[in-house]
Amino acid sequence: MTTALYLPEENIDMIAATSVLQQQAADIRTRSINWASYMQSQMISQEDYQVISSLDKSRASFLAQNSTQVVKTMLNLVSHLSKDSTIQYILVLLDDLLQEDRSRVDLFHETSGKMKQCVWGPFLNLLNRQDGFIVNMSSRILAKFACWGHETMPKSDLNFYLQFLKDQLASNNNEYIQSVARCLQMMLRVDEYRFAFVSVDGISTLIRILSTRVNFQVQYQLIFCLWVLTFNPLLAAKMNKFSVIPILADILSDCAKEKVTRIILAVFRNLIEKPEDSSVAKDHCIAMVQCKVLKQLSILEQRRFDDEDITADVEYLSEKLQNSVQDLSSFDEYATEVRSGRLEWSPVHKSAKFWRENAQRLNEKNYELLRILVHLLETSKDAIILSVACFDIGEYVRHYPRGKQ
């Protein structure tokens, strides 16, 4: 049984009316396919011909009385026909059937099981087609099969499918990116699929795309994906290892759309509320302070929002971050800055007292902070980060007796 997170439907189907996929589907629905010629040339059976012709005429009543046969025919046609325009039509018809009534997903699972046929296979195969509409409509149907029924997607198919979604997100100028993100929004509501997504390096991909200039709709969808991931306490605890907080803090400071603001605040709230280890929540608070989130919250407090969730989240976050600032030792502040990778000439770097008291603490957790400083020297192109990292390593060597070694 898939354990899907219950979320308001408005959050998830907000773009159905406008995406490229939906615009094309509207045109494809108006086509008429000459099924008789398929039967005459023996490309489909008499039985499949009768079913698909009847479905074209009176969908709901025919389906109610012949549900098993309809499923059989749909799977046959998707598996055995090859002409793009016909496959497009069948996929739109099938997607409409599922959209009208989610319980039909289980009907497909049960019937394909009785037929000893795999419901996933035909649609996974279609992901390799050249036609963008076929690829993305098949993907949408796979997401519905995976999320709306009692059966979860098998592990090997799941990894293949999530890798496919990740690659599609990352491909340049993908006109279907909203549809790809929509599938991911559905998949990540199911807890069993979240770790599989992390294991194909999914979070890094989301963050990489969010750090480029994408339109606000895609921004919202990808941050929504991060948000649903943070409902899992283990993932919420690991999240900032991927620099989620700095990237979202940057977006928040530039953000003009209320729904993007709302979803970022919801992610930040989960990063504090969901981890089971209170020290992780504290680290997240400090990271937010470091990334100037408090300043953004004070600006948001001055604005009026229609959405009560935003007001509640702003109040909650302001209180938590204010408290964390009061508890902050200078070493906590320093450690958070180093972990964020965003070094600047904040006061601790130049304090001789700080280095006298804390130089040896760079050895903690198997030299964690020292390793990060060295890594920044090797990889950063930013002049300020490089100069601060150089300076800090120099202070470590100066104040820790065995530092040179």
**Statement: residue 239 has pLDDT above 50:** yes
Give the model's pLDDT for residue 199. Answer: 92
Domain boundary among the residues 151, 172, 190 is at: 151
Task: Give the count of domains, the chain.
Answer: 2
Structure tokens at 200: 């194909």
What is the extent of the structural domain holding 25?
13-151
Q: Would residue 222 count as lying in a domain?
A: no
Residue 5: name the closest of 245, 163, 194, 203 by CA.
Answer: 194
**Statement: residue 319 has pLDDT above 50:** yes
* pLDDT tens-digit readout, 171-219: 888 889 999 999 999 999 999 999 999 999 999 999 999 998 788 899 9
Backbone angles phi, psi at 82, to 5 degrees: -125, -20
* pLDDT tens-digit readout, 149-173: 999 999 989 999 999 999 999 888 8
Give the percent of the chain with pLDDT over 90: 48
C-alpha 119/C-alpha 143 separation (Å) is: 12
Structure tokens at 403: 């530092």
Q: Would residue 280 count as lying in a domain?
A: no
Domain boundary among the residues 116, 132, 151 is at: 151
Taking residue 172's Cβ as centre, other Cβ atoms within 10 Å add up to 4
C-alpha 146/C-alpha 2 separation (Å) is: 8
Q: Would residue 114 count as lying in a domain?
A: yes
Q: Would residue 317 count as lying in a domain?
A: no
pTM: 0.80
* pLDDT tens-digit readout, 264-291: 999 999 999 999 999 899 889 988 988 8
Q: Would residue 378 count as lying in a domain?
A: yes
C-alpha 144/C-alpha 102 separation (Å) is: 8
Q: Would residue 156 count as lying in a domain?
A: no
Beta bridge partners of 4: 190
Q: Would residue 126 count as lying in a domain?
A: yes
Structure confidence at residue 405 as a pLDDT band (50, 70, 90): low
Neighbouring residues of 92: CB distance < 8 A, sequence distance ≥ 6 = 25, 28, 29, 137
Q: Give me the helices (H) in 30-103, please.
A: 35-40, 46-57, 59-65, 67-80, 84-100
Domain boundary among the residues 91, 118, 151 is at: 151
Q: Would residue 44 count as lying in a domain?
A: yes
CA torsion, points 169, 174, 179, 185, in degrees to nearest 10? 20
